[in-house]
Amino acid sequence: MSQFALPLDIGSAHEDTGYLVTDCNLQTHRQLEQWDRWPNGTAILIGSHGAGKQAMARKFVSQSGGRYVADAHGVADDKLFHLWNQSQSDKQPLLLISSRDVSRWDIQLPDLKSRLAASILIEIGPPDEAMIIGLFQKYFALRGLSISEDALSYLGKRMERSYQNVQLLAQKMNVLAIERKKPITRAIAKAALAQHEAESAKPEIEEG
């Protein structure tokens, strides 16, 4: 894979490429694997915070030898346009990832706008229950811990399903388990969820 000189966050094939696949992101996973079918060799990957965009992009790089750009919505038009042209010249697929819909990228360069419009759009939807359970298990397994089936069942049926909530709740359960010196059971999960919901219900303080 050739190197690109622009000061962009371009992925390396030597990084970790693991991510979970369930029904909620299976179509996304398949579209990324079919990079050789992308129009003009370019795709845009959209997903919320914590949805696994970086991990998916690194897997794409390792399989295709292509490039990816993180937070593409924040890259200047001329740099992004130059990268698109460079990728075309090198015959390398290009993946642009962002947490924002393309309509909110504020693209001013007409040539870039037309090229993005012609690119395949790949979106990561909200997590399903299987994904939530898998992410909780992965979070604690990486820390040498485990979460009980009761805790997983409790959270899967009650929590608001979003990738960010999985991260926040996992962190809260970890802290509570350490403070109470207890394993991560339904009681810990219940306390963490109550704490999270109370914090989410607090009104935001307006700055004067």
Distance separating the N- and C-terminal Cα atoms of the chain? 51
Burial of residue 162 (number of CB atoms within 10 Å: 0-12, 13-18, 19+) = middle
CATH number, domain 26-123 = 3.40.50.300
pTM of this structure: 0.81
Residue 154 — pLDDT band, cuts 50, 70, 90?
very high
CATH number of 129-201, picked from 3.40.50.10300, 3.40.50.970, 1.10.8.60, 2.60.40.10: 1.10.8.60
The pLDDT assigned to 204 comes to 57
Task: Give how far the C-alpha of residue 194 lies from the chain's centroid of Cα atoms, to the nearest Å.
Answer: 26
For CATH 1.10.8.60, the residue range(s) in the chain are 129-201
| Average confidence score pLDDT of the chain | 87
Please name the amino acid found at residue 163. Y
What H or E segment, with its residue span, contains residue 79?
A: helix 77-90
Q: What is the pLDDT of residue 131?
A: 93
Average pLDDT over residues 141-170: 93
**Amino acid symbol at 166:** V
Residue 58 has a pLDDT of: 93
Query: How many alpha carbons fall within 13 Å on the CB side of residue 58?
Result: 12
3-state secondary structure of 99: coil
Residue 185 reports pLDDT greater than 90: yes
The model's confidence at residue 107, banded by pLDDT at 50, 70 and 90, is very high
In the chain, list all ranges with CATH 3.40.50.300. 26-123
How many whole angstroms separate alpha carbon 63 and alpha carbon 38?
14
149: tokens are 């089936």
| 57-83 per-position pLDDT tens digit | 999 999 999 999 999 999 999 999 999
